[in-house]
Amino acid sequence: MTDFAALRRMMVDGQVRTADVTDPRLLAAMLSVPRERFFPADKASLAYLDLDVAVNGSGQPIRRLLKPMVLAKLMQAAAVTATDHVLDVGCATGYSTALLAHLADSVVGIEEDAALARQAADALASAGLANAKIVTGPLSKGRPSDGPYDLILLQGSSEMEPAALFDQLKEGGRLAFVFARGPAAKAMLYRRIEGDISGRAIFDATASPLPGFAKPAEFVF
């Protein structure tokens, strides 16, 4: 029988701590949330690998959870606080939403794949995380009706700056995601200050693309 608790400790010690993730609240959350419960039963054994593992079927756009190291570094850079209201974009089966629920005051996970959204809602309910909810809708449009937000995280990469999501940030709010355009990909952290948005690269990273965040095709004459 698989010892998932031991695998969880190995993930945190071997993948997360070694990537300079030192936030004690985040490390405690990753040790306490059973990542395997956010995977299909036939893929639970893959939950603690250093990979972006697919969590849905092959008949639709493949969705993958961010590898633990990338997710942890994004969350640490975003400096999640106990008073934050967070939007988790592309939450898939809800693992990232569950982690955020341990760190923030309230979390909205948005997912446009209805089957994944149901899995996420069931997993969060089973975990008793009453400060998190799952909603469905186009990922690129966010969830303005529940905003504005102190923090927005994208659980995948985007080829463009997500302008619609910037508009849903509070003053001083942050947005973090993997910006993937061309051969290079970097995790970015943006902040809204006096109505203006400024961003900076925070580390090299790769992530699977999120639906709705592809750069529009350019016409060449």
Measured CA distances, 103 to 28, 30, 145 (Å): 10, 11, 22
Measured CA distances, 42 to 37, 46, 54, 124 (Å): 11, 9, 11, 20
Instruction: Output the tens digit of pLDDT for each of the chain's 221 residues.
Output: 789 999 999 999 999 999 999 999 999 999 999 999 999 898 999 999 999 999 986 557 789 999 999 999 999 999 999 999 999 999 999 999 999 999 999 999 999 999 999 999 999 999 999 999 999 999 999 999 999 999 999 999 999 999 999 999 999 999 999 999 767 799 999 999 998 999 999 999 999 999 999 887 665 55
Please tell me the distance from the alpha carbon of residue 178 to that of residue 93, in angstroms, as a whole number. Answer: 19
List of domains in the chain: 4-204 (3.40.50.150)
Tokens of 140: 């690129």
Q: Label residues 151-181 b or e (16+ Cβ within 10 Å = b).
A: bbbbbbbbeeebeebbebbeeebbbbbbbbe
Please tell me the distance from the alpha carbon of residue 97 to that of residue 110, in angstroms, as a whole number. Answer: 9
Residue among 177, 27, 178 nearest 99 (CA): 27
pLDDT at position 93, please? 96
